[in-house]
Amino acid sequence: MSWPTSPKTAVTRKASIVLALGAALLLSACSGDSPAEAESSDGSGSTATVTITDNHGEVEVPVNPKTVVALDNTVFETLSEWDIKLAAAPKGVMGSAWPGYTDDTKVADVGNHREPNLETIVAAQPDLIIGGYRFGDYYDEIKKQNPQAAVIEIAPRPDKDAFTELERQTEILGQIFDREDEAKALNDKLDSAIAGAKAAYNGTDSVMTVNTSAGKIGYIAPEVGRSLGPVFPALGWKPALEVDGATDNHQGDDITVEAIADSNPDWIVALDRDAAFAAADREAGSAPATELITKSEALKNVPAVREGHIVVLDPNFYLEEGIQSYTDLFNQLEKAFAA
């Protein structure tokens, strides 16, 4: 998939105010940069709403919703930083990255995306469901089962620039949870990290990106490959190898170590898919990415291995992939390429 640059999606707001004055009832609605707020008729909290544009179109969403279910791994870090409580989450695909959610018995477990328990979402009676990403196939079913909830999908869209999309996602979360200043700070950090990593790259070294799983090395294609593909255009990396029709799925493309050696990369950047999981849950035959690369007889003479130019992503990167993860990655790349 290609991720060309696109303008950030505009987010609009609309709020409704309901005021009870004796027997008189006045309804008013307004649009603007700040949502209007009012107490609900039963005094349970704010009735302000915001209209956001998600991956499907405009959706009216409660501001600071009382009951939230989140299914998209790319938002968990932001929600955790902002101390947003969740009623349910897919603990089966969260690893140990967010113990505040996974260890909390009050957070119901939706399971993983292959065998989700969608009834768990229904039982939570959420005001807001942040779906999509690994749960994208269940969008229609979730909407049908939860008519009382605003259901949104704000994960980066595959046909857009990945990092502009992460900033769009963060802006929308800021609107919903009234954390616009915090959202801007996250976006500014990402922009700064990208600029730093781009400045540290010399513009000529060739880069090979791979993933490792079950003891095998897969090829992550420039631009379209999962997780690391979008980094190529963002930093102006020179690919060590380009393959027509490369995949964008989570496994990457099969490649032999001989083919990697023939591409003679100056740098190898690796996503270790097994590292995020406990040893007992890893694919059979798995081994650390650095071990697979440095102990390969075929790769021992390529510049990347000879010069120690190997960057392995944070163990939880495969699970997170949110704006904080990419900010950390670009900072890591800046440090490695500037050394």
Looking at residue 247, its pLDDT comes to 64
Stretches where the chain sits below pLDDT 50 are 1-44
Region at 285 (left for phi over 0; alpha for psi -120 to 50; beta for the rest): left
Helix axes 180-200, 323-338, angle to 10 degrees: 30
Residue range 46-104, pLDDT digits in tens: 679 999 999 999 999 999 999 999 999 999 999 999 999 999 999 999 988 999 999 99
Nearest C-alpha neighbor of 163 from the set 212, 84, 98, 229? 229
CB 145 within 8 A of CB 118: yes
Helix%, strand%, coil% for the chain, nearest 5:
35, 20, 45
| Local structure of 74: helix, strand or coil | helix
CB 128 within 8 A of CB 68: yes
Looking at residue 276, its pLDDT comes to 76
Structure tokens at 238: 């020179």
CB 309 within 8 A of CB 209: no
| Radius of gyration of the chain from its Cα atoms, rounded to whole angstroms | 22
H or E segment and range at residue 311: strand 310-312
Cα(179)–Cα(84) distance, integer angstroms: 11
DSSP code at position 267: E
Looking at residue 267, its pLDDT comes to 98
Looking at residue 36, its pLDDT comes to 41
